[in-house]
Each structure stands twice: as C-alpha cells, then as structure tokens.
Amino acid sequence: MIIVLRPGASPAQIDEVIAEVKILGYEPSPIIGVAQTVIAAIGDERTHQNLESLTALPQVESVLRVQKRYKLASRESHPANSVIDVAGVPVGGPQFTFMAGPCSVESADQLFATAEAVKAAGATILRGGAYKPRTSPYEFQGLGKEGLRLLREARERTGLKIITEVLSERDVEHVAETADILQIGARNSQNFQLLIECARTQKPVLLKRGLSERIEEWLLASEYLLAHGNPNVMLCERGIRTFETYTRNTLDLSAVAIAKKESHLPVIVDPSQGCGRADLVIALCCGAIAMGADGLLVEVHPTPAEAWSDGQQQITFDGFRDLVAAVQPFLTAVNRTA
C-alpha cells in the first residue's frame, strides 16, 4: 500500500507513521519528497491488515491500495480457466453448459416433463428451486424436502445433474445430499456463514451476484468459498438493481467480461432473473455468449402462465429449443461447442 502524507508533515510525524506501518506488519519504505512524503508499505495486502486505519492520523492524507483484495479468485493466482467437475459434467472448459428448468419445483409432472424437454434440447443440468427466497412471506415458498426428492427422481430418470438453491445454513447438509451444484441466491450472496458452510461440503457452488453487489464484492464473496477450501466455484451474473423499469433487473454483461478477465472461475449467466421478461431471454443469451460466458441458467416451464413463481420470465419448451438453436452461431463465433 502507499501512504500519502500531508504537505508539511514533520520528521517526527513521518517517523510516527513509519513505526505504525511496522506494527501493522508491513515493511516501510519512505520516499521523502520536497513538498510531500509517501511511504510504500511492503507486504501482501490481501492477507495483511488494511492500512486505511492510518488515515486516522492527522498527518496522513490517504492510503492507496496496490493489490487486488481477492487472491485465490484472481486470474493472477491461476492463469488458466478453472474447469469444475459437476458429477462428470465439466463446466468452464471448451464445452458450453446449458442449465435449465423451472424457477420452482411444483409437481412431479411439471418437473419430469421439463427435465425431458430441456434434456432433449441440449441441457445437461436441471435447475429447480425447492427452497424459494420470495419477497413476500405470503408467496409460494417452495416444496422443501419433497421438492428435493422430486429433483433426485428427475436425475434418476434423465441423468441430468441438479442445481438447486440453499437458503440457510440449517439446510446445507441435506440440500447437498441432493444437489450436484449448490446455488447461492442473490439475496444470500454475502451471507458469509452460509458460504463457509457450503464450502465445507466440497460440492460445486454457483454464487449469484447480489442485487446491488459490486464486482469486487462478488469476487470477495467467492474468495470466502475458496479460502475455506472449496475450489469448485462458479460465478453467476443475474442482473443488478438499477433505476430502469422496462426490466426487472439490469443484466450487467460488462460484469461477465470483467469477471472473465479478473478471475479464472467459470461465469454463468442467468438471463431470466436478469431481465424478468421471457421475450428478451434469447437476445440476452446471445450477448452473454459473446461476452465470454461459460454457460446459461435459464428458467423453463411447461405453462409459464400457470407458474407458481416467476411466470413472466419463464420460457416454454419450444422457446428453449429455439434458444439453443439461436445461440449456435454465437457459440461457433467464440469457439465453444454445445
């Protein structure tokens, strides 16, 4: 870090800062200028204490970071793309991944029909929420354990791998018995205790970006999973809250390109929560692939108009088939196979 002192700091004040830098575990290297002095504090900022507290001293003008705050998630620490093994399905390699299924698991008929349809169209991973994070407590909260049982049965019938959300620490153990990927939802993206519990399972985790989360905060949340010993992490851009009202959220495609640059972790895009409109899903998927996404997480329902959650953004079986066909030229353009 670089500590910038105020013009006119006295030699005693400079010495005071140098002493503090040592106490905080860094090696100080002062550069005494004519008008102003700066002190380079040498040490690994990612794991040492933050020196921003030094601005509490009157002679310190500012403290500047040199290194990124995330370490294990950064591309510097791991230049090659990470490929996550989801029970035999690789995510993040040359093969593009389609994850699809209903927002919520509603019934055996609904789930099994959707599983067959998305598999036939090219999906390898089935999504479906058994625990639903709903804005209102009066809305459908998910089938819970019965939903998990149906997801296991869908896997047995189709061979699709399962991604499903875990809402609380209390549920991690039993959701992990069913899930091939634990989904951390946007509302829990910075629930660090939940992340630590999920890390312990060693199961692949898909970490959604929070509703108003900065890219740095999202990567730092992924760092919690990695630092607690789980390397099987996927990032998921699912739109952020903005002032725009034509869409439910604003799908931040620049975040996809940035996350791919900054990190080696696979990046998945959820266009369904991303815009909240079925009619935009295909366009956003094409954009996501062009930005370098490694996969898509798409909500598909047999009859969206009757869905128990998120009906407005779920696409039909035909819609999903059209989507897989529509994105093929984009996959070819970025050298990805479907």
Positions in the binding site for Mn ion (CB under 5 A): 103, 310
- The least CB distance from residue 204 to ligand PEP, in Å, is 16
Question: Rule CB under 6 A: which residues touch ligand PEP?
Answer: 103, 129, 133, 185-187, 208, 238, 270, 273
- The least CB distance from residue 118 to Mn ion, in Å, is 15
- The least CB distance from residue 309 to Mn ion, in Å, is 6
Measured at CB, which residue is nearest to ligand PEP?
A: 185
Closer to ligand PEP by CB, 58 or 137: give it. 137
Closer to Mn ion by CB, 252 or 262: give it. 252
- The least CB distance from residue 148 to ligand PEP, in Å, is 15
Closer to ligand PEP by CB, 129 or 287: give it. 129
DSSP letter for each residue of 93-117: SSB-EEEEE-SB---HHHHHHHHHH
Could you tell which of Mn ion, ligand PEP, none binds residue 74, using a CB distance below 5 to 8 A set by kind?
Answer: none
- The least CB distance from residue 313 to Mn ion, in Å, is 7
Could you tell which of ligand PEP, Mn ion, none binds residue 238, using a CB distance below 5 to 8 A set by kind?
Answer: ligand PEP
Q: Note the Cα 120 to chain centre separation in Å.
A: 27
Closer to Mn ion by CB, 122 or 304: give it. 304
Closer to Mn ion by CB, 92 or 142: give it. 142
